[in-house]
Amino acid sequence: MSSSKAPEGPTEGAPAPDFAMPASGGRTVNSAALKGRPYLLYFYPKADTPGCTKQACGVQEALPQLGRLGLEIIGVSPDPMKAIEKFAAKYNLTFPLASDEDHKVAESYGVWVEKSMYGRTFMGMERSSFLIGADGCVRKVWRKVKPEAHAAEVMVAAKALLA
């Protein structure tokens, strides 16, 4: 039996799973408060690592254009709030970075997956993103995101969704 099955989680057109998490800047993010507004939920493995920093800074740079489109952005990692606050402050990240320490939200989105590095397997966050429409349904899914190109890909999809 192969363990390389596709991750579970919402597919395009399906309702986005509900969530509520603490976030940077003393905020709380939750799906109920976002009802009626489009948003991007992006999952990243670890704050202040090279790939995650590239991705977060790319999103921060694109924030003015994404904001004009009416798109809310939320980054999610399994890090504790202290590490997330430090990461947000270090790179002046103004969008909410949420802590999913118990990885319940990641599991509901199918991004808490088995990973392997140097022959060792472990559970961790898959770098993935979900564009959620104002109706609360998933409009676009990106799996195994490339950090450098992600903000541009989100911009194209957001423009198409919100035009």
User: pLDDT (tens digit, 9 = 90+) per residue, 125-161?
Assistant: 999 999 999 999 999 999 988 888 888 899 899 888 8
Indicate the length of the chain as a whole number.
Answer: 163
Asked whether residue 15 is assigned to any structural domain, the reply reads no
Residue 113, exposed/middle/buried by CB under 10 A (0-12, 13-18, 19+)?
Answer: middle
Question: In the chain, how many domains are there?
Answer: 1
In this structure, is residue 94 part of a structural domain?
yes
- Domain for residue 68, yes or no? yes
CB 107 within 8 A of CB 90: no
The pTM of the full predicted model, rounded to 2 decimals, is 0.91
CA 161 to chain centroid, in Å, comes to 18
Flag whether pLDDT at 46 surpasses 90.
yes
- Look up 137 and say whether it is catalytic: no
Is residue 6 assigned to a domain? no
Contact 74, 66 (CB under 8 A): no
Choice among 29, 47, 52, 151 that is catalytic:
52
124-142 CB burial, b ≥16 within 10 A, e <16: bbbbbbbbbbeebebbbbb
Q: Looking at the predicted structure, is the pLDDT value of residue 6 above 80?
A: no
CATH number at residue 86: 3.40.30.10
